[in-house]
Amino acid sequence: MIGRSIGALLVSIFCFHAPAPANAEPLAPLVRGWEQFFTTDWRVSERRHRPVMTGHVVNAWGVPATRVQLLVEGVAVIWLGSPIPPGSRVSFEVPLSGPAADYRVSVFAFDWLQTASIQTP
Protein backbone atom coordinates (compact mmCIF):
# COMPACT_ATOMS: atom_id res chain seq x y z
CA MET A 1 0.00 0.00 0.00
CA ILE A 2 2.75 2.49 0.87
CA GLY A 3 4.63 1.68 -2.33
CA ARG A 4 1.47 2.30 -4.35
CA SER A 5 0.93 5.62 -2.54
CA ILE A 6 4.46 6.78 -3.27
CA GLY A 7 4.14 5.72 -6.90
CA ALA A 8 0.90 7.67 -7.29
CA LEU A 9 2.50 10.62 -5.57
CA LEU A 10 5.50 10.66 -7.90
CA VAL A 11 3.18 10.57 -10.92
CA SER A 12 1.12 13.44 -9.51
CA ILE A 13 4.22 15.56 -8.89
CA PHE A 14 5.24 15.42 -12.51
CA CYS A 15 1.69 16.00 -13.75
CA PHE A 16 0.69 18.92 -11.51
CA HIS A 17 3.91 20.86 -10.88
CA ALA A 18 4.09 24.08 -12.80
CA PRO A 19 6.36 27.01 -12.04
CA ALA A 20 4.59 30.08 -10.67
CA PRO A 21 4.83 33.37 -12.53
CA ALA A 22 7.47 35.74 -11.11
CA ASN A 23 4.83 38.21 -9.85
CA ALA A 24 2.56 35.59 -8.23
CA GLU A 25 1.66 35.76 -4.55
CA PRO A 26 3.10 32.94 -2.42
CA LEU A 27 0.71 30.05 -1.91
CA ALA A 28 -0.84 29.44 1.50
CA PRO A 29 -3.00 26.56 2.80
CA LEU A 30 -6.64 26.91 1.76
CA VAL A 31 -7.88 25.84 5.21
CA ARG A 32 -6.69 27.91 8.15
CA GLY A 33 -6.03 25.81 11.24
CA TRP A 34 -5.28 22.63 9.28
CA GLU A 35 -2.80 21.81 12.07
CA GLN A 36 -5.68 20.73 14.34
CA PHE A 37 -6.52 17.93 11.89
CA PHE A 38 -3.11 16.83 10.58
CA THR A 39 0.53 16.58 11.58
CA THR A 40 3.44 16.48 9.16
CA ASP A 41 7.05 15.43 9.46
CA TRP A 42 9.75 15.41 6.80
CA ARG A 43 13.45 15.29 6.17
CA VAL A 44 15.69 16.08 3.24
CA SER A 45 18.19 13.48 2.09
CA GLU A 46 19.73 12.19 -1.13
CA ARG A 47 18.56 9.45 -3.46
CA ARG A 48 20.66 8.60 -6.50
CA HIS A 49 22.81 11.67 -5.80
CA ARG A 50 19.82 14.03 -5.96
CA PRO A 51 18.07 15.83 -3.09
CA VAL A 52 14.70 14.41 -2.09
CA MET A 53 12.23 15.19 0.68
CA THR A 54 10.52 12.26 2.38
CA GLY A 55 7.92 12.45 5.10
CA HIS A 56 4.51 11.56 6.46
CA VAL A 57 1.12 13.16 6.94
CA VAL A 58 -0.97 11.92 9.89
CA ASN A 59 -4.75 12.34 10.05
CA ALA A 60 -5.43 13.20 13.71
CA TRP A 61 -9.15 13.75 13.13
CA GLY A 62 -11.90 11.12 13.39
CA VAL A 63 -12.98 11.22 9.74
CA PRO A 64 -11.18 9.92 6.63
CA ALA A 65 -9.51 12.68 4.60
CA THR A 66 -9.54 12.49 0.79
CA ARG A 67 -8.02 14.54 -2.05
CA VAL A 68 -5.22 15.65 0.27
CA GLN A 69 -2.71 18.07 -1.24
CA LEU A 70 0.53 19.20 0.38
CA LEU A 71 2.24 22.52 -0.10
CA VAL A 72 6.00 22.17 -0.11
CA GLU A 73 6.94 25.84 0.00
CA GLY A 74 9.25 26.84 -2.78
CA VAL A 75 8.75 23.52 -4.59
CA ALA A 76 5.18 22.53 -5.50
CA VAL A 77 1.67 21.61 -4.47
CA ILE A 78 1.45 17.82 -4.60
CA TRP A 79 -1.35 15.27 -4.33
CA LEU A 80 -0.89 12.49 -1.81
CA GLY A 81 -2.68 10.06 -4.09
CA SER A 82 -4.57 8.12 -1.42
CA PRO A 83 -7.06 8.86 1.36
CA ILE A 84 -5.87 9.06 4.96
CA PRO A 85 -8.06 7.08 7.38
CA PRO A 86 -8.48 8.49 10.91
CA GLY A 87 -5.36 7.92 13.01
CA SER A 88 -3.34 6.77 9.99
CA ARG A 89 -0.37 8.20 8.15
CA VAL A 90 0.58 8.34 4.49
CA SER A 91 4.13 8.67 3.21
CA PHE A 92 5.25 11.14 0.56
CA GLU A 93 8.39 11.73 -1.45
CA VAL A 94 9.22 14.89 -3.39
CA PRO A 95 12.23 15.31 -5.68
CA LEU A 96 13.95 18.64 -5.06
CA SER A 97 15.73 20.77 -7.62
CA GLY A 98 18.52 21.57 -5.17
CA PRO A 99 19.31 22.07 -1.50
CA ALA A 100 17.63 24.95 0.36
CA ALA A 101 18.23 26.49 3.76
CA ASP A 102 14.76 25.52 4.98
CA TYR A 103 11.62 23.85 3.73
CA ARG A 104 8.10 23.97 5.14
CA VAL A 105 5.39 21.39 4.46
CA SER A 106 1.74 22.15 5.13
CA VAL A 107 -1.59 20.63 4.15
CA PHE A 108 -2.73 22.83 1.27
CA ALA A 109 -6.24 21.39 0.74
CA PHE A 110 -8.34 18.35 1.65
CA ASP A 111 -11.89 17.02 1.77
CA TRP A 112 -13.53 14.99 4.51
CA LEU A 113 -15.09 11.73 3.33
CA GLN A 114 -18.80 11.94 3.98
CA THR A 115 -20.66 8.69 4.51
CA ALA A 116 -24.36 8.00 4.59
CA SER A 117 -25.85 6.03 7.42
CA ILE A 118 -29.02 4.00 7.24
CA GLN A 119 -31.13 3.99 10.34
CA THR A 120 -33.80 1.40 10.95
CA PRO A 121 -37.07 2.30 12.70
pLDDT tens for each residue of 1-37: 544 444 444 434 444 455 555 566 788 999 999 999 9
Closest alpha carbon to 53 in 43, 63, 41: 43
Beta bridge partners of 109: 69
Whether 69 maps to a domain, the answer reads yes
Q: How many CB atoms lie within 10 A of CB 2?
A: 11
101: DSSP letter: S
Whether 83 maps to a domain, the answer reads yes
Give the model's confidence band at 116: pLDDT under 50 very low, under 70 low, under 90 confident, else very high.
low
d(CA 29, CA 23): 19
- The model's pLDDT over 59-110, given as tens digits with 9 standing for 90+, comes to 999 999 999 999 998 888 999 989 999 999 999 999 988 766 678 899 999 9
Whether 54 maps to a domain, the answer reads yes
| DSSP-derived secondary structure for 25-80 | PPP--SSTTGGGTEEEEEEEEEETTEEEEEEEEEE-SSS-EEEEEEEETTTEEEE-
What's this model's pTM, rounded to 2 decimal places?
Answer: 0.72
Whether 33 maps to a domain, the answer reads no
pLDDT at 8 (0 to 100): 43
- The model's pLDDT over 42-69, given as tens digits with 9 standing for 90+, comes to 999 888 888 899 999 999 999 999 999 9
Whether 67 maps to a domain, the answer reads yes
Give the model's confidence band at 115: pLDDT under 50 very low, under 70 low, under 90 confident, else very high.
confident
Question: Is residue 113 classed as helix, strand or coil in its secondary structure?
Answer: coil
- What's the total number of domains in the chain? 1
- Alpha-carbon dihedral of residues 92, 95, 100, 102, nearest 10 degrees? -10
Give the model's confidence band at 119: pLDDT under 50 very low, under 70 low, under 90 confident, else very high.
low
Host domain of residue 6: 2-16+45-112
